[in-house]
Amino acid sequence: MIPVTLLHTPPHAPRDGAPPLVAAKPAPPSAARSPGISHAANVRDGRPQIVIIGAGFGGLAAAHALRNVPVDITVVDKRNYHLFQPLLYQVATAGLSPAQIASPIRGILRHQRNATVLMGKVSGVDRASRLVFAGTQRIPYDYLIVATGARHAYFGHDEWEPFAPGLKKIEDATDIRRRILIAFEKAETETDPAERARLLTFVVIGGGPTGVEVAGAVAELAKTALASDFRNIDPRLTRVLLVEAGPRVLPVFPESLSGAAKRALERLGVEVRVGQAVTACASDHVMVGPERIETRTMIWAAGVAASPAARWLGAEKDRAGRVVADADLTLPGSPEIFVIGDTAATKDSNGAPVPGIAPAAKQAGIYAAHVIKARVKGRALPGRFRYRHLGNLATIGRKAAVADFGWLRLRGNPAWVLWGAAHIFFLIGFRNRLTVMMDWLWAYISYQRGSRLITGGGPDD
C-alpha cells in the first residue's frame, strides 16, 4: 500500500492560529487511487515536513535558514541547478559560459542533513490534502514554501516571443548568443547591402537593468571582441538600439544615474530611444511607434510574469500573475503556505511593493524560515515581513556602471569595480567565483570574450 498519510506531533502547538500541526492529514484520495504513483522518500520520524518549490534565491535561502531546525525539508526544482540570473546576460553575450553561473542544487545542499533534493516539475498543489504534485510524485507537506520565480511576459503579445526571445534561463541565454553570433556570420557572406545592414542591427527592448546590460554588452562585443575577426564586414559599424517605453532607462535609479547610464551607452554607440513603445515584432523588423526598424535580432527585456503558482494554489493574483500574499508572506486562509520572491506580490511595511530582485527573494526566504522555526518550536512569531533595500547596481560595459545605495551614489569606474566585486561575492561556489574572476580579468586585458560558441544550430541548419 502506498503510504499517503503523514502523522506527526510537533513539540508545541502554534501560537498564531496556524492550523494545528498535530492533526493527522486525510489520505489524499486521488493519490491513493492512482497505481504507479510514487511518493517522495521524505516522510521521516514524524518531524514537520517542509516542501520548498524552487531552488532559486528565495528557496535556497529558506532551506539554509532551516538547517538547524528539527524539520525535514524537500527542495523540488525542475532543474538540477541553481541559476545566478544576474549574470545570464554575460552568457547571452559570450562573456561567460553557462556552467560559470550555475551550481548543482544537490551539491549546494550536500552538507545539510535535513534537506532532500528532488528534481521534478511541479504542476499542482492540493491544499486540502497538503500535497505537491510533481510528475508522478505526490509530496506531502506540513509547511509549503512556493518560490518558483517569474518568466518573461509580452504584454498580451505572446506572438512576439519567437522573434524577440527573453532572458530567463540558460537555454534563453545560449539561444540569444547563437542568434547574435549567427547574425555576424551571415552578414560576412551576405551580398545584399540591405540584408547585411538588417543582420548588423540589434534591438534590445526594455530599458531596465537587463536591457541596459545586454545593449552595452552587445555593443562592446561588436566594437571590441569581434572588431578584427571578419574580412567582409566591419563589426564596429553594428547598430545597437535600446528601446524603452518609459521616459528614461533604469527607472528604479535616481534620475542623475539614469542619465549617466544613458550617456555611457551612447559612448558605446548604442542608440537609446526612450518614451517609445514597441508595437510589433516580426522576423525582419520591429515597429517602434510608427517607425519600422529593419533587424534580424531582437532581445526582449521588457516584462515579467510570475510562475503559474497562483493557479496551482487557487489564489488571488495581481496583474503580473503574482500571488497576493499576507504581510507574513503566507497565503490568505492558509498559514502553512508561504509564497516568496518573484512569484509573490508582497508589500513592505510602508505599503511599497517589494521589488523582484535577488536580495528581496533571499530576505523573504529567511523570514519564512524564521516563522516556521518559531511555530515548530512554539516560540513567539516574528512580526510582519520587513524588506531591507540594500541598493541597486547596473553595469553598462567596461569601466561603466551605476550604483545607488541611497546614502551613496556611484558611477563610472568605482561603480563598475563594486558591481564586479558584488557579483563575484554572491556567486555560489568557489570554482565559479575563481573562473569568473579569471575570465573577467582576461577580458579586461585582452578585450576578448571566451565563450563565443554557436550551439544549437548554425546558419544552415
Ligand X SMILES: Cc1cc2nc3c(=O)[nH]c(=O)nc-3n(C[C@H](O)[C@H](O)[C@H](O)COP(=O)(O)OP(=O)(O)OC[C@H]3O[C@@H](n4cnc5c(N)ncnc54)[C@H](O)[C@@H]3O)c2cc1C
Q: In the window 435-454, what residues touch ligand X (CB under 6 A)?
A: none
Query: If binding is defined by CB under 6 A, does position 88 make contact with ligand X?
Result: yes
Q: Number of residues in contact with ligand X, rule: CB under 6 A?
A: 33
Give the residue carrying C-alpha cell 538540477.
80
- Contacting ligand X (CB under 6 A), which of 78, 106, 127, 399? 78
Write the Ramachandran bin of 359: left for phi over 0, alpha for psi from -120 to 50, otherwise beta: alpha
Cell of 276: 517609445
Query: If binding is defined by CB under 6 A, does position 207 make contact with ligand X?
Result: no
Query: If binding is defined by CB under 6 A, does position 204 make contact with ligand X?
Result: no
Of the ranges 21-29, 240-248, 288-296, 338-346, which one interacts with ligand X (CB under 6 A)? Answer: 338-346
Query: If binding is defined by CB under 6 A, does position 167 make contact with ligand X?
Result: yes
Query: If binding is defined by CB under 6 A, does position 77 make contact with ligand X?
Result: yes
Q: Which residues contact 13 (CB under 8 A, 6 or more apart)?
A: 20, 21, 22, 378
Which residue, judged by CB position, is nearest to ligand X in the bound state?
A: 56
Q: How far is the CB of 281 from ligand X (least distance, A)?
A: 19
- Catalytic-role residue among 190, 213, 220, 336: 213
Query: If binding is defined by CB under 6 A, does position 342 make contact with ligand X?
Result: yes
For 133, what's the count of Cα atoms within 13 Å in the CB-facing half-sphere?
14
Write the Ramachandran bin of 165: left for phi over 0, alpha for psi from -120 to 50, otherwise beta: beta
Q: What sections of 21-132 are H helices per DSSP?
A: 29-33, 57-65, 88-92, 105-108
Any catalytic annotation for residue 185? no
User: CA-to-CA distance for 260 and 131, rounded, in angstroms?
Assistant: 50
* ∠ CA 330-334-339, rounded to 5°: 30
Residue 200 vs 396, nearer CB to ligand X: 396
From 432, 423, 444, select the one nearest 99 (Cα to Cα): 432
Of the ranges 13-21, 30-38, 48-56, 248-256, which one interacts with ligand X (CB under 6 A)? Answer: 48-56
Cell of 299: 532581445
Binding string, residues 346-375; x marks residues near ligand X by CB under 6 A = ----------xxxx-x--------------
Q: How far is the CB of 230 from ligand X (least distance, A)?
A: 28
Q: Is 249 helix (H, G, I), strand (E, B) or coil?
A: coil
Interface positions with ligand X (CB under 6 A): 53-59, 76-79, 85-86, 88-89, 121-122, 147-149, 167-168, 209-210, 307, 341-343, 356-359, 361
Residues marked active site are found at 213
